[in-house]
Amino acid sequence: MMMVQACAHRGASGLAPENTMAAFRKALSFPFVQWMELDVQLSRDGVPVIIHDDTLRRTTTASGRVGEFTAAELGKFDAGAKFNKAFAGEGVPTLAELLDETIGRARLNIELKTYGGRYPELERRVVDLLYEKGLQHDAVITSFDQEALRKVRALSKEIRTGIIIDGAPSTLVGDLRELEADFLSLGHSFLSAPLVSVMKEEGVDVMVWTVNDAQTMRRLAGIHPGLMICTNYPDRYAQAFGL
């Protein structure tokens, strides 16, 4: 069985607090992790920051909305202690921090956590940062919000984009073509051999999420070796494929 590519979901988020530098560094400690997935929003002062929820309560010891605080303030909130006290003091990182750490080491799947224009400047800020760091060819920008992907494409013809869906709508091929997107981030229960075949014919790479047990990883790899598997547990990926 050919090994599918490994993507660490919010970093190695089963082993360290999600979307923190600790989780990303843990993911990078596994040599087979080629991709990392992360979630980006905008701070009050317009800085792309890495956090999943639009509120702070679940993952940090603070409360309130992400967009109410500056990047510096977010960086001082404790985003580690709720996972494990050993990670106390891990802050909410900026996208720039992670880009600096991953250059030449892993590619990034950057999910824009926006809908309905909640962060009007988010797309431009992320695109500008990728160009500033020379990483416009080493990342893909994904979102559930197709309007956000249209904005990215209007800003750049070079940066890859991708749709995130938890389903298999009949409009999928048309949507990808219209968006000029070549990446599909798919809830793994909707993966099928015919779907992968169609995507490959369209030149679209497929990542399935979030796969956290070795048996399912091996089953999905058997559907198509060209898949990317997104997991919270890179150690279980290693177990699945005997690494």
Instruction: Indicate which residue of 9, 137, 188, 224 is catalytic.
Output: 9
- Which residue from 7, 32, 11 is spatially nearest to 228, judged by alpha carbons? 7
Query: Which residues, other chains included, contact 120 with Cβ-Cβ below 8 Å and sequence gap of 6+?
Result: none
| DSSP output for 139-171 | EEEEES-HHHHHHHHHH-SSSEEEEEESS--TT
Whether 137 is a known active-site residue: answer: no
Whether 188 is a known active-site residue: answer: no
Instruction: Indicate which residue of 52, 137, 188, 224 is catalytic.
Output: 52
Query: Which residues, other chains included, contact 19 with Cβ-Cβ below 8 Å and sequence gap of 6+?
Result: 10, 11, 13, 38, 39, 50, 51, 52, 59, 79, 92, 93
Query: Which residues, other chains included, contact 101 with Cβ-Cβ below 8 Å and sequence gap of 6+?
Result: 21, 24, 25, 28
Active site residues: 9, 52
